[in-house]
Structure 1
Amino acid sequence: MQITSLSLFRFASRSARLWAFAMMGAARFPLARTEGLRFWKLCGSGTDEGFAPIPNTSVYAILGVWDDATTARDTIDSHPLWNRYRARASENWTLFLNPVSTRGAWSGKTPFAVSEDPGTGPIAALTRATIKPGIAARFWGRVPDISRVIGANPDVMFKIGIGELPLLHQVTFSVWPDAPSMARFARAGGPHAEAIRAVRDGRWFREELYARFRIAGETGAWEGRSPRLLTELQPEGSA
C-alpha cells in the first residue's frame, strides 16, 4: 500500500544552512533515481512556523510518495541523501502518512493514492496551491491572521508552512488529534473562513490540492520531542 513521507530538517550553523539551500537543486538528481519513490518535492519554509513570506533558511523539507511503507522506512533510514541531511541537521523528524482523501492536482499530477480510512488516530491535512502572481500580496496579507487562529487552537498538534517556490507555491501542513477537531476548525468563522471565501470568489489559485492522511508512524524529533504524536500512536506505528 502506498505511503507518503514528510521529512523536516533544521539546520543551525551558517555552513549547514548554505548546504541545505544548495541541495534544493543538487538533491533533485538522486531523488529522481531513488527506487520506489514515485513522487517527491523539495521544499523550503518561511518564518513564523513557515506561515510568512520571509524565507526561513534553517528549515527544509522532503516530501515523498512511496510504493509501500517498508520501502519508505528502509530508504529513509539508509539512503545516502537522507543520511547527508541528518548528518548536517541539528534535528530532523519524519512522519509517515496514509492518504485517506484527496482532490486536486500537484504539478499536474494526482500524487496520493487513497487507502481505506481506519477512522481513528491523529489526522493530518495538507493543502498545496500555486498562487497567481497578481494575487500574491493579497494572499500573504491574510496569512498572519490565519496562522494566529491555528496557533491559538488547543487541538492543533503541529503546523508548518513550506513551499517549492517562495511566495507562489505554498504548502500548509497541520496535524490534529482526530477528524472532528479538524472539521470544527474548518467550519468555524473568522480569518480562515474568510480567506477560503476570498480564494473561491477571486480564483486566487492556478492549481490546488487538498489531502488528508492518517499518521502511520514517525521517527526523529522536532523541537527536542515528538509534537504530541508519539503517545497517540500504536507502539508498532512509531520508530
Structure 2
Amino acid sequence: MAVFRLPLSFNKQIHFYKLMGCGKNGSFDLHADWQQWAVLTVSKHLNNGNEQVGKFLTLWWKIFQCEILQIALQPIEGHGTWDGKLCMGKLPPKSDYEGPIAVLTRATLYTKKAKRFWQHVNNISMELKHSPGLMLSIGLGEIPWFRGATLSIWESKAAMRQFAYSQPFHKEVIAKTKRENWYKEDMFIRFIPIKSVGSLRGIDPFQGKL
C-alpha cells in the first residue's frame, strides 16, 4: 500500500485520499483482515473508478489479480473533519434525501480512551451485522486501534436511522462518546450511492439494489 502514495499524490483528479487496512467481521476489529485493503479518494468530479485512482494502481491490481469492489458515492450531509480538513467539502448537517444511503464514520481516539472504546465494539458489531436493511459494512483504519472508520451502506435512510438511534448498545455508545470525550477528532458523512463495480468475496453486494 505504501507505494500507492506517490501516484495518488501526483493525481490531479484527487484532492484528498486515504490508504487503509480493514478489520474482520465487517466492522471495527482488533484483528486486521490481511487480505482486504481500502483506498479512499475524493474528487470534485465523478469519474470512472479506474480514472479516479489512476493507471498505476489499476495496473498493479490487475497484475496481482486482486478482487476489486469500487463504489462511487456523492456526499450530501454530515459534519466533522479528517486531519483537520473538510475533505468532503462544506455540507449541511441534514438533507431531505430518503433513498439508499451510505454512511462513513471515522474517529481519532485519545490514547487514554482507546480501551473504553474497544470494550464496546463487539456488542455494536453484532447489532450492526443483524440490522435489517444493511447491504454492506466494512471496518477501516489508518492506524490500528487509534484511527478507525466504518463504511456502511443501507437500503434506505429509515433502515440506517433504525440502527443508529434505536439499537440499545449503539445508542448508549453515542451518548458515552460525548459524555466521556473519547474522540480527539471525528467525522460523520452520509452519501448517495451512485454506482458500484466489481465484487467482494465473490459477491456483488448491491446487485439489483443500486
Q: What does 1:1-239 align with in structure 2 at a 5 Å threshold?
A: 23=1, 25-70=2-47, 72-76=48-52, 79-113=55-89, 114=91, 119=97, 121-227=99-205, 229-233=206-210
- 2: CA distance, partners of 1:77 / 1:129: 24
Assess if the C-alpha contact under 8 Å between 2:100 and 2:154 holds in 1: yes
Assess if the C-alpha contact under 8 Å between 2:28 and 2:139 holds in 1: yes
- 1: CA distance, partners of 2:70 / 2:99: 17
The one of the two structures with greater contact order (alpha-carbon pairs below 8 A, sep at least 6) is 2
- 2: CA distance, partners of 1:132 / 1:120: 34
Provide structure 1 residue ranges, at least 5 long, that are not aligned to the other structure: 1-22, 234-239
- 2: CA distance, partners of 1:130 / 1:110: 15
- Partner of 1:185, secondary structure, is helix
Assess if the C-alpha contact under 8 Å between 2:82 and 2:187 holds in 1: yes
Provide structure 2 residue ranges, at least 5 long, that are not aligned to the other structure: none
Q: Deviations over 1:88-136 (max 9, x none)?
A: 2541101000001020000000011349968354100110100111111
- 2: CA distance, partners of 1:139 / 1:157: 25
Q: Normalising by the residue count of structure 2, what TM-score does the alignment of the two structures yield?
A: 0.92
Distance 1:77 1:130, change over 3 A: closer
The Cα of 1:210 is off from its aligned counterpart by 0.3
Assess if the C-alpha contact under 8 Å between 2:127 and 2:167 holds in 1: no
Q: Normalising by the residue count of structure 1, what TM-score does the alignment of the two structures yield?
A: 0.81
- Partner of 1:52, secondary structure, is coil
Q: Between Structure 1 and Structure 2, how many residues are aligned?
A: 208
- Partner of 1:100, secondary structure, is strand
- Partner of 1:35, secondary structure, is coil
| Equivalent AA in structure 2 for residue 143 of structure 1 | V
| Equivalent AA in structure 2 for residue 128 of structure 1 | R
| Equivalent AA in structure 2 for residue 91 of structure 1 | E
- 2: CA distance, partners of 1:175 / 1:224: 18
- 1: CA distance, partners of 2:193 / 2:128: 19
Pairwise CA RMSD: 2.0
Q: Deviations over 1:109-164 (max 9, x none)?
A: 00113499683541001101001111111111111110000111121111011010
The Cα of 1:191 is off from its aligned counterpart by 1.1
- Partner of 1:101, secondary structure, is strand
Shift >6 Å, 4+ stretches: 115-118
Q: Deviations over 1:68-92 (max 9, x none)?
A: 013x535147622132124325411
- 2: CA distance, partners of 1:225 / 1:206: 36
- 1: CA distance, partners of 2:177 / 2:115: 13
- 1: CA distance, partners of 2:159 / 2:22: 26
Distance 1:172 1:137, change over 3 A: same
The Cα of 1:168 is off from its aligned counterpart by 0.4
The Cα of 1:56 is off from its aligned counterpart by 1.6
- 2: CA distance, partners of 1:77 / 1:108: 23
Distance 1:111 1:77, change over 3 A: closer
